[in-house]
Amino acid sequence: MYNPKSMRAEEFISNEEILNTLEYAEKNKNNRELIEQLLEKAKPRKTERGIECAGLSHREASVLLACEIPEMTEKIYTLAEDIKKAFYGNRIVMFAPLYLSNYCVNQCVYCPYHYQNRSIPRKKLTQEEVAKEVIALQDIGHKRLAIEAGEDPVNNPIEYILECINTIYSIKHKNGAIRRVNVNIAATTVENYRKLKDAGIGTYILFQETYHKESYETLHPAGPKHNYAYHTEAMDRAMEGGIDDVGLGVLFGLELYKYEFAGLLMHAEHLEAVHGVGPHTISVPRVKRADDIDPNVFDNGIDDDTFAKIIACIRIAVPYTGLIISTRENESCRNKVLRLGVSQISGGSRTSVGGYAGYSADERPHDTEQFDVSDQRSLDEVVKWLMELGYIPSFCTACYREGRTGDRFMSLCKTGQIQNCCHPNALMTLKEYLEDYASSETKAVGEKLIEAELKNIPNEKARRLAAEYIENIHEGKRDFRF
Ligand code: SAM
């Protein structure tokens, strides 16, 4: 029985409800009147508090995803762009993954780290190696990391992950610092989530991979990850352990995308219903080639147009949730989806264990790679490219450091103060990047952008302060934030 408030995976991600949703969406995919109504309902509105968006339910959003009327599809894209502009402006937050260990006892059939892969070298960073990786990441300009590890209670116990987080936060190299560590590790216990919270993590990220229980069990034939309920209920345990910001995701290609889309939104609705706050982020990875993995053996791969439509429909359904795309996507795909609602991207990423230290920007170790990286540009190239497209690359980590997590972040979004807060923070952290790490070409583009964008801070006092702080950064001071 479907119940978003239930704590049982099979009830808040009810297979029956997803199938009914898909049937409803199929029946209404050419229902112009309904689609118009949904677009109207989801539009950003000015209220006393600021700008607000109603979002859409999984059923409603599934109708938009199924819609086959070309001019309505255009309207879906336009609305997604409007929502993105209202809450995220032209800011794009930058991050990089840091792979700690590829030891893994699971058998995820799409992942080269699976236990039975005897050809991939197994590697786990020592604390000295973590420090070297962090220095290398700081030296290219990163301030925000997502740490990644396989699941292995002997090689990668929670104590190891906590030690790594400690090391990462402790390294202050030149003007560098990692100010936010997000964590992408396997589902764990409330007690362990509490330890992660106490270690000062940002978002806890866990991809569902697929919401389809039967496929999930086939795709994870053995190991702790085989347990669908334990995996699907992980975010509830994370929140019980005190983690406010959680990141959902689906690995597109494994199951039918319309099924996954409905499941993903039902998961978001469940978190909202039970904890009063939806997911902080949603990631949309697609299966990629890797060591012994051929993505073509999975039947449900999606093309770039479908991918873009999924992103637009997520943006409309959950307007306050950040949307992440990684370097799994190439430059042209990233270009297409950025405007439709993406708010965070990785840049200069290495998906191997120990892939940063000791390698130049165009050298890339492949031996322990988790997947092939499509966007192989350096962070400096990505930053320059974003600015030339009119975006502000942001290295901001202020919300979490100011305690604006969970529903407090969501209310900042809703009060319209975001333009007086996130916008100057983006410009100040970009200025730090330009001063400390950018090439001269990137710096020239960035200085002009900052000058122009300072004028777009609505509040006069915030505008004046931001200009002053930017001058202070030029003089050598660091780490200002609103
Ligand atoms: N071991 C943890 C877990 O099981 O959740 C951490 C996750 S893993 C390091 C990060 C994510 O990479 C996985 O959740 C999966 O969605 C994705 N991934 C695995 N193999 C992939 C592939 N071949 N192509 C693209 N993404 C992949």
* Alpha helices per DSSP H over 141-286: 158-170, 190-198, 213-219, 228-232, 234-240, 257-275
User: Maximum distance among all alpha carbons in the chain?
Assistant: 62
Pocket test for ligand 1, best of 148, 188, 207, 284 (most atoms within 8 A of CB): 207
For ligand 1, is residue 148 a contact (CB within 6 Å)?
A: yes
| pLDDT of res. 264 | 98
Cα separation, 239 vs 276, in Å, equals 11
pTM (two decimals): 0.97
Cα separation, 162 vs 154, in Å, equals 14
Q: What is the pLDDT of residues 275-327, one digit of tens each?
A: 999 999 999 999 999 999 999 999 999 999 999 999 999 999 999 999 999 99
Q: What is the pLDDT of residues 38-61, one digit of tens each?
A: 999 999 998 887 889 999 999 999
For ligand 1, is residue 184 a contact (CB within 6 Å)?
A: yes
Question: Could you identify the atom of ligand 1 that is nearest to the CA of residue 295?
Answer: 23
Predicted confidence (pLDDT) at residue 385 exceeds the cutoff of 90: yes
3-state helix, strand, coil in the chain (%, to 5): 50, 10, 40
Predicted confidence (pLDDT) at residue 416 exceeds the cutoff of 70: no
For ligand 1, is residue 290 a contact (CB within 6 Å)?
A: yes
Task: Tell the residue nearest (CA) to atom 1 of ligand 1.
Answer: 150
For ligand 1, is residue 253 a contact (CB within 6 Å)?
A: no
141, 147, 143: which is closest to 161 by C-alpha?
Answer: 147
For the ranges 230-234, 270-274, 419-423, the lowest mean pLDDT is seen at: 419-423
From residue 95, how far is each of 61, 327, 389, 405 by CA, in Å? 29, 11, 19, 18
69, 75, 81, 82: CA torsion to nearest 10: -150
The enclosing H or E element of 337 equals helix 331-338
Task: Tell the residue nearest (CA) to atom 6 of ligand 1.
Answer: 185
Task: Tell the residue nearest (CA) to atom 3 of ligand 1.
Answer: 186
Question: Could you identify the atom of ligand 1 that is nearest to the CA of residue 290?
Answer: 23
- Give just the sign of the alpha carbon dihedral 378, 384, 389, 391: positive
For the ranges 163-177, 381-395, 417-431, the lowest mean pLDDT is seen at: 417-431
pLDDT tier at 408 (50, 70, 90 boundaries)? confident
Pocket test for ligand 1, best of 101, 156, 184, 220 (most atoms within 8 A of CB): 184
In sequence order, what DSSP letters do the residues of 39-90 get, joined into one string? HHHHS-EE-SSSEE-----HHHHHHHHH---HHHHHHHHHHHHHHHHHHHTT
Hunting for tokens 């290609």 — which residue is that? 253
Q: What angle, 0 to 180 degrees and rounded to 10, lies between the N-to-C axes of helices 32-42 and 58-66?
A: 120
Q: How many CB atoms lie within 10 A of CB 239?
A: 22
The DSSP code for 354 is T
Query: 329 with 314: CB under 8 angstroms?
Result: no
Hunting for tokens 């790490």 — which residue is that? 437
Region class of 60: left (phi > 0), else alpha (psi between -120 and 50), else beta: alpha
Q: How many CB atoms lie within 10 A of CB 406?
A: 18
Backbone angles phi and psi of 99, in degrees to 5: -85, 120
For ligand 1, is residue 186 a contact (CB within 6 Å)?
A: yes
391, 393, 296: which is closest to 96 by C-alpha?
Answer: 393
Mean pLDDT of 179-203: 98
CB-facing half-sphere around the CA of 274: CA atoms within 13 A: 23
Instruction: Classify strands 91-101 and 180-184 as parallel, antiparallel or unpaired.
Output: unpaired
Hunting for tokens 């336009």 — which residue is that? 78
Across the chain, mean pLDDT equals: 96
The token duo for 105 is: 């006892």
Backbone angles phi and psi of 248, in degrees to 5: -90, 170
Query: 57 with 265: CB under 8 angstroms?
Result: yes
Task: Tell the residue nearest (CA) to atom 16 of ligand 1.
Answer: 251
Q: How many CB atoms lie within 10 A of CB 128?
A: 9
Cβ-based burial of 306 (10 A; exposed 0-12, middle 13-18, buried ≥19): middle
Task: Tell the residue nearest (CA) to atom 13 of ligand 1.
Answer: 207
Predicted confidence (pLDDT) at residue 400 exceeds the cutoff of 90: no
Angle formed at CA 67 by CA 64 and CA 71, multiple of 5 degrees: 105
Going from the Cα of 193 to the center of ligand 1, the distance in angstroms, rounded, reads 19
Query: 340 with 80: CB under 8 angstroms?
Result: yes
Which residues are registered as beta bridge partners of 146?
97, 182
Mean pLDDT of 330-350: 96
Mean pLDDT of 421-427: 95
| pLDDT of res. 410 | 73
| pLDDT of res. 232 | 99
Length, in residues, of the chain? 482
| pLDDT of res. 406 | 81
The token duo for 41 is: 């309902």
Cα separation, 152 vs 276, in Å, equals 33
Q: What is the pLDDT of residues 287-300, one digit of tens each?
A: 999 999 999 999 99
For ligand 1, is residue 298 a contact (CB within 6 Å)?
A: no
For ligand 1, is residue 17 a contact (CB within 6 Å)?
A: no
| pLDDT of res. 428 | 98
Which residues are registered as beta bridge partners of 204?
183, 246
| pLDDT of res. 40 | 98
203, 199, 186: which is closest to 247 by C-alpha?
Answer: 203
The enclosing H or E element of 11 equals helix 9-12
Cα separation, 141 vs 138, in Å, equals 5
Query: 124 with 240: CB under 8 angstroms?
Result: no
| pLDDT of res. 382 | 98
Cα separation, 352 vs 368, in Å, equals 5
